[in-house]
A and B are shown apart, each in its own frame.
Chain A
Amino acid sequence: MRFLTEVAQWLTSSANWSGPDGIVVRAVSQVELSAAVIGTSILIGVGIGFALGHTRRGGFFAVNAANAARAVPSLALLTLLVTWPIISLKGDGFYASFLALVALAIPPILTNAYVSMRGVDAEVIEAAKAVGMSSWQRFIRVEVPLAAPLAVAGIRTAAVEVVATSTLAAYVTFNDLGDFIFAGLATNDTVESFSGALLVAVLAGLTDLAFLCLYRLVLPVSSRRTASGSRVAAAPDAAIV
C-alpha cells in the first residue's frame, strides 16, 4: 500500500511531467517514433499485401512473412543496427529504433493485408467483372472496402506491438517513456520503474483503443450493429496463420 502511495506521488509530481526528461516530452517522442513507424509500415505492408492479394501472386511469401518475422527478436535487431557504424546512435537512437520497428511491423501488416484481399468472395469479384469494372476499379471499389476490416485488424496488432517495443528504444538512448523503466531498473528505484511501466501500459492501451475505433469505422455498415454489441466480438484479432 505504501508502495502504491509512492507511485501515486511520483505520477502526480509536476517535476516528473515537465522538462526535457519529463513525461510529456518523452511520451510525445515515443508517439512520434511509433507514428512514423506505423505510417511507413502501413504504406509498405498494405501496399505489397494488397498488390499480391489482388494479383493472387506470392501467396507463400505473404502468408509466411508474419510467422517468420515473429521469430526475430527485435532486441537483437535493434542492437545490431546500433552497433553498425552507418546507423549507430544517429538521431539519438531514432534511426536504429525506426528501422528495427519497421522490420517488426511490416510482416504482420503485409500478411493480414494479403489474407484479407484473398478472402474477398470470388463470386463478388465475378459480379464486379460482369458489370464491366476494370481491374483497378474492382480493386478500389470492391476489394479494398471488403478487405479493409481484416487489414485494419492486422494494423492494430502491429501498432500495439510497435508502441510496446518502442519502449526498448530507450535502451539505445532514444528519449522516451522506456527511459523511466530502464533508469529505475538500473538504480533500483522501484517507484520510478513501476510508474514508467504504468505509463507505457497506458500508451499501449490507448493505441489499441485508437485502432479499435478505426476498425469500427471501416466495418461495413451492415455488420456494425452486431459488432458493437460486445467488445470481444467487435475486435477479431488478426489472422494467426
Chain B
Amino acid sequence: MLGALLASSAPFIDWSWIGTNAGVIANAIAQHAELTGIAVGCGLALSVPTALIAWRFHWARGAILGFAGLLYTIPSLALFVLIQPVTGYFSLLTAEVALTGYTLLILIRNVLTGLDAATDEVREAATAMGFTPTGAMIRVYLPLALPSLFAGLRVATVTVVGLVTITAFIEWGGLGQLIITGLHDYFYTPTVVGLVLSMALAAVGDATFVLLERIIVRWRQIEA
C-alpha cells in the first residue's frame, strides 16, 4: 500500500517551487507576522486596562468576561463576515478587529488570574506601606501578575498565528494564502510550506515572549 501511495502521488515537496517562489513566501511570512503582531499588540493594550477594571470593580467582572467569552465562541470565519459591514469588506480592519477579539478572553482571564493570586500578606504589606487601593493595584499587584500575563501572551500569539490562516478567505491570510493555493492546484508543496512556516512562526512568537519574560520579570529567578 505504501508503494502504491508513493507511486500515485507527486513528490511531497517540490524544492524547485520553493526556489522560484521565495519572494512570495517571504511576503507571506511578513504579512502573517504583521497581522499577528498587530492583533496581539492591540489585544495587550486593551486587555490590561480592561482586566484592571474587572478586578477593581466586581460588578464589571461578569459582564467583561461574559462579553469576551461570547466573542471567543463565535467561529473566526463567521466573525470576519459578521463585522465586515461595519469594518469594511475584505479590509485589514476586519481581520485585525476579529483577531484582536480572540486574544481578549485569553489575556483578560490570565491577568485576572495573576491579580487574584496576590496573597493576604502582599495585600497587608501594600496597605502598610501606604498604597491607595488603585496605587497598590498598579505598582504591586499588576507586576506580580506579569508571569500570568506572559503565559497568556504566549497562548494568544500561538492562537492568532493559527487564526491568521483563516483570513485568507477575506483576501489576507499571510501563509494561509499558500495553504489555499495548494488546494486549488492539488499540489502539496505550497500547503506544506504554509503549514511548516506557520508552526515555525508560532514557535518563534512563543519563544519571543519566553525571552521577554526572562528579561522583564527578574524577581522570579531570585525566588526560584
* A interface residues, Cβ below 8 angstroms from B: 3, 67, 70-77, 79-80, 82-86, 160, 163-165, 167-168, 171-172, 178, 181-182, 184-185, 190, 193-194, 196-198, 200-201, 204-205, 208, 230-232, 235, 237, 240
Contacts and interface: CB of A to CB of B under 8 A. Distances in A.
Interface residues of B, number: 55
A205 B194 CA distance: 31
A60 B166 CA distance: 30
Interface string B39-71: 000000000000000000000011001100110
A38 B9 CA distance: 31
Contacts of A196: 78, 81
Contacts of B198: 71, 73, 76
B8 interface: yes
22 contacts: A70-B155, A71-B202, A71-B203, A73-B179, A76-B194, A79-B180, A80-B188, A83-B187, A85-B8, A86-B5, A167-B78, A178-B77, A181-B81, A194-B85, A196-B81, A197-B77, A197-B81, A200-B77, A201-B73, A201-B75, A240-B106, A240-B109
Q: Which 10 A-B pairs have the closest CB atoms?
A: A164-B75, A76-B195, A197-B78, A197-B81, A71-B202, A73-B165, A200-B78, A79-B183, A76-B179, A201-B74
A80 B191 contact: yes
Given A73-B165, A232-B61, A232-B69, A163 B75 contact: yes
A167 B8 contact: no
Interface in B145-163: 151-152, 155, 158-159, 161-162
A75 B75 CA distance: 13
Given A181-B81, A201-B82, A70 B159 contact: yes
A131 to B, nearest CB: 35
B81 A72 contact: no
A236 B89 CA distance: 35
Contacts of A235: 69
A184 B84 CA distance: 13
Contacts of A240: 106, 109-110, 151-152, 155
Interface in B105-124: 105-106, 109-110
Contacts of A190: 84-85, 89
A228 B65 CA distance: 16
A149 B135 CA distance: 38
A181 B78 contact: yes
B82 A197 contact: yes
A72 B163 CA distance: 10
A77 B183 CA distance: 11
Given A164-B73, A198-B78, A204-B73, 12 more contacts: A70-B162, A73-B198, A80-B195, A83-B183, A83-B187, A86-B5, A184-B81, A185-B170, A200-B77, A201-B74, A237-B109, A240-B110
Given A72-B199, A198-B82, A204-B75, A232 B186 contact: no
Interface centre among A67, A83, A178, A200 (most CB of B within 10 A): A83
Nearest to B161: A71
Contacts of A205: 70, 73-74
A168 B166 CA distance: 9
A83 B186 contact: yes
Contacts of B82: 194, 197-198, 201
Contacts of A82: 183
Given A3-B85, A80-B191, A75 B62 contact: no
B206 to A, nearest CB: 8
A71 B161 CA distance: 7
Nearest to B63: A232
